[in-house]
Structure 1
Amino acid sequence: MRFRTLKELAAISLNEGKTLAEVMIEDQAAETGVPREEIVAQMADYYEKMKEAVRRGLTEQTVSRSGLSGGDAVKVLDLAENGTPSSGDPSSRAMAYALAVSEVNASMGRIIATPTAGSCGIIPGVFVSSQERFGWSDEHMVNGLFAAGAIGYVIANNSFISGAEGGCQAEVGSAIGMAAGALVELRGGSAEQAMHAVGLALKNTLGLICDPVAGLVEIPCIVRNGLGAVNALAAADMGLAGVRSAIPSDEVVSVMLEVGAAMPSGHRETGQGGLAQTPTGRKLTEGLMKGRKPLEPEAEEAAAPVGEGAE
């Protein structure tokens, strides 16, 4: 690739009068030797799979084998369609779609890692909900995926995208930055605005630990995908409004590397710290190890001895 930093990516886009997507497509074709048409066709196939994951998560059974997750996406979508969501319809739909894809992942369905399975819901949640809202073509969305890919390429080569290496900031954080920067371009913003959106997104997820209960990509991963999609919308809006990241985005990426390297191993996908080691987290883990599925909160209350917990 001709770029290694976000600054270089934006400079190429500005100097050559090309979108981030066009720069990425051209560089990928040059580096791999694969014809442009094939590269674009493959990305289009990826986007179809993302849309299918959203659909499946909202219309089919997505309870995971562990019993820890499933069905929350439908609840959030129901609030968006039949209630008054506090965050507004666009945010609620992005959240619901992100949850849907993450629940499909947890139930062993097919997803596209963007950039990882643990953060697979954020980009589809942002992209599919935005496409419906603005009436964009699939071709436009595919270009957006190339823009997101260019941003992810820089992050991956200068920091982390793996929770085992850099915590959840590396997975969910990277996905939020990728989605935010790409959405700015999809909405007609400049490369500079897109880069600021990336920085704004990343610096507000610095230090986010990876603490999966029972080592599964469910608790708290799925909820973080839903909220991550909303964060991406907010960062994109800030970028489009002209809000600048006072710390350059490339420096934020460097800080992600610094923070991830300093993060204790218990907070890097080992399940040995954070939420995984709360009393409830340990209880859920122990139950799964013994082959028991977690009880619903109501069932737990019903199963408790009479008078337990009374003052």
Structure 2
Amino acid sequence: RLAGKSISGPLTAKAIAYAMGVLEVNASMGLIVAAPTAGSSGVLPGVLLAVQEEHGFSDAEMEKALFNAGAIGYIISRNATVAGAEGGCQAEVGAASAMAASALTELFSGTPQMCLGAAANALSNLLGLVCDPIAGLVEAPCQKRNAIGASNAIISAEIALSGVENLIPFDEAVSAMLQVGRRLPPELRETALGGMAATPTGCVLCKRIYRGQDEEE
């Protein structure tokens, strides 16, 4: 991106970099805001900081966008879940992406219906995404999934603002996410027993990490 060779353009490139950066801070025991969770904490700030820098929105406008995002997060938390242990990564990064998509839509003068459509689209795009942290740590593949969540939010907002309506209403998308999450086996809900965590390389990394800790102790 710094070399001026971004494939996706400056907004998305910045959102990706910032989203991944927040997860770096989290992994190094730094201070982050769990919005809605630590594992998905990069999506919302990644998108909003990038769009403010690229489009010059005021802090007051950003505050309104955050209220919008908070409302979406509240609805998802109240009617479903944002916990990876309960609903998989679709509940964490999916919810964060929905929050960012709705906030972004409001910033660009979208209607409330467009905001809900963007949030529903963001959720549906990540439906079924499992939670499979390698070695049980909120690092990989979590960091890159935050980048995906940020990109998904931008795409979902763009679609909503273009006037393309989402066929499934937001409330129903939230309900569908919850039902899918309940059907995920325990191995794919933050236990590090399936998915990428259970690959041969994932298992080797896990042993290496915890063997090193045992030696230090």
TM-score, normalised to structure 1, is: 0.67
Q: What whole-Å deviation, never above 9, does each CA across 1:44-71 have from its counterpart, x for those lacking one? A: xxxxxxxxxxxxxxxxxxxxxxxxxxxx
Q: What whole-Å deviation, never above 9, does each CA across 1:213-263 have from its counterpart, x for those lacking one? A: 010000100010012111100000011101111111111111101000110
CA-CA distance at 1:121 after TM superposition: 0.3
Q: Distance in 1 between matches of 2:9 and 2:48?
A: 17
Q: Equivalent of 2:58, from 126, 130, 137?
A: 137
Residue 153 of structure 2 corresponds to 232
CA-CA distance at 1:143 after TM superposition: 1.3
Residue 37 of structure 2 corresponds to 116
CA-CA distance at 1:83 after TM superposition: 3.2
Residue 180 of structure 2 corresponds to 259
3-state secondary structure, aligned to 2:168: coil
CA-CA distance at 1:81 after TM superposition: 2.2
Q: Distance in 2 between matches of 1:130 and 1:82?
A: 20
Unpaired runs of 5+ residues, structure 1, are 1-79, 293-311
Q: Distance in 2 between matches of 1:253 and 1:198?
A: 9
Paired letter, 2:120 = G
3-state secondary structure, aligned to 2:34: coil
Identical aligned residues as a percent = 53
Residue 123 of structure 2 corresponds to 202
Q: What whole-Å deviation, never above 9, does each CA across 1:3-29 have from its counterpart, x for those lacking one? A: xxxxxxxxxxxxxxxxxxxxxxxxxxx
Unpaired runs of 5+ residues, structure 2, are none
Q: Distance in 2 between matches of 1:103 and 1:228?
A: 16
Structure ID, larger Rg: 1
Q: What whole-Å deviation, never above 9, does each CA across 1:270-305 have from its counterpart, x for those lacking one? A: 00100000000000000111107xxxxxxxxxxxxx
3-state secondary structure, aligned to 2:2: helix
Paired letter, 1:169 = Q
Q: Equivalent of 2:96, from 175, 178, 188?
A: 175
CA-CA distance at 1:86 after TM superposition: 1.3
Residue 164 of structure 1 corresponds to 85
Q: Which has the higher contact order (CA 8 A, sep 6+)?
A: 2
Task: Give matches, 1:7-18, under 5 Å.
Answer: none
TM-score, normalised to structure 2, is: 0.96
How many pairs were matched up? 213
Structure 1 segments (4+ residues) deviating >6 Å: none
Q: CA RMSD in A?
A: 0.9
Task: Give matches, 1:68-83, under 5 Å.
Answer: 80-83=1-4
Paired letter, 1:223 = K
